Amino acid sequence: MQKNQTQFAPKSFEDFVISNPRSREKLNDIFNADKPFPGGGKNAICLWGTYGTGKTTLAMELPKLLEESRNMPVIHNSPSILSSSRFWELTKCGEENVTTIIQGLNNRIYQPALSQSGWRYEIFDEIDVIDIKKGQPRLKSAMTHSENTVFIFTTNHPDKLDRGIIDRSHLIEMNQAPVEHMADLAEGWMCAMGLSSGEIDRATLIDMAKESRGSFRYFLPEVQTAVNRYLRTALSNSTN
Ligand SMILES: Nc1ncnc2c1ncn2[C@@H]1O[C@H](COP(=O)(O)OP(=O)(O)OP(=O)(O)O)[C@@H](O)[C@H]1O
Ligand SMILES: [Mg+2]
């Protein structure tokens, strides 16, 4: 991805688009400790929804957000948590076989937590890739017996998840956001690029938002292209 597109990647929780307002409220309740987490038998957060809505990006930020919400300073030398592996682990479920995944997890859950709060964070990206009959029940069992571990899952297919895993998870819906909301975001990006936001008309932004089906992988480059086109035309008009 181009550098000028990554500048608009979400930087704080507010920048993420959580399509379901109830889901955003649920995460805020967790961050504010109105909802004890882990608690009530749940020790996982499962981000589910259609493609490109920011699930993996948010999953990678959740350990830091959860630590900060416990008023624990996040200790690392870099401004980004992505370069620190002190207290979280990422498993790309599509890249390892289930036995390796469960063995690795079982080895880690008995290690002392390295976070300030005493929690460890296990991120499982694309959890539905783990076989629902053979693999997921083993993961469910590990979840039951790991007292200091918070699990964070992402999936496009919540229907392919073991009921026991779902039951242990707070489900956060990240599907296609309202197109008006996405157009508002695009206008914010345009302002950040030094435009006044009217250069690309609202109806065009709404059309792009519809075509994206909620995916920022489609939407952000489309907006960027329209901005580039506008700037190139404006420049050539001014030099003629
Ligand atoms: N709210 C947002 N604003 C701007 N860019 C975003 C936003 N959310 C996600 N993105 C960008 O969209 C791209 C896709 O994000 P990500 O990979 O997290 O999506 P995903 O939901 O995990 O997709 P998939 O379902 O295909 O795995 C990334 O480049 C990310 O920076
Ligand atoms: Mg993803």
Residues 187 and 164 in one domain: no
Q: How far apart are CA 187 and CA 60, in angstroms?
A: 26
The number of angstroms, rounded, from the C-alpha of 92 to the middle of its chain's C-alpha atoms is 14
Q: What percent of the chain has pLDDT over 70?
A: 91
175 lines ligand 1 (CB under 6 A): no
116 lines ligand 1 (CB under 6 A): no
Taking CA atoms only, the protein residue closest to ligand 1 atom 15 is 54
Residue 14 lies in a domain: no
156 lines ligand 1 (CB under 6 A): yes
pLDDT surpasses 50 at 82: no
Q: How far apart are CA 137 and CA 143, in angstroms?
A: 10
pLDDT surpasses 50 at 69: yes
User: What confidence tier does 80 reach under pLDDT thresholds 50, 70, 90?
Assistant: very low
51 lines ligand 1 (CB under 6 A): yes
Q: What's the structural domain count of the chain?
A: 2
| Residue closest to 13 by CA, chosen among 29, 1, 36, 2 | 29
Among residues 148, 173, 198, the one where a domain terminates is: 173
Report which ligand 1 atom has the smallest distance to the Cα of 57: 18
Q: How far apart are CA 84 and CA 115, in angstroms?
A: 11
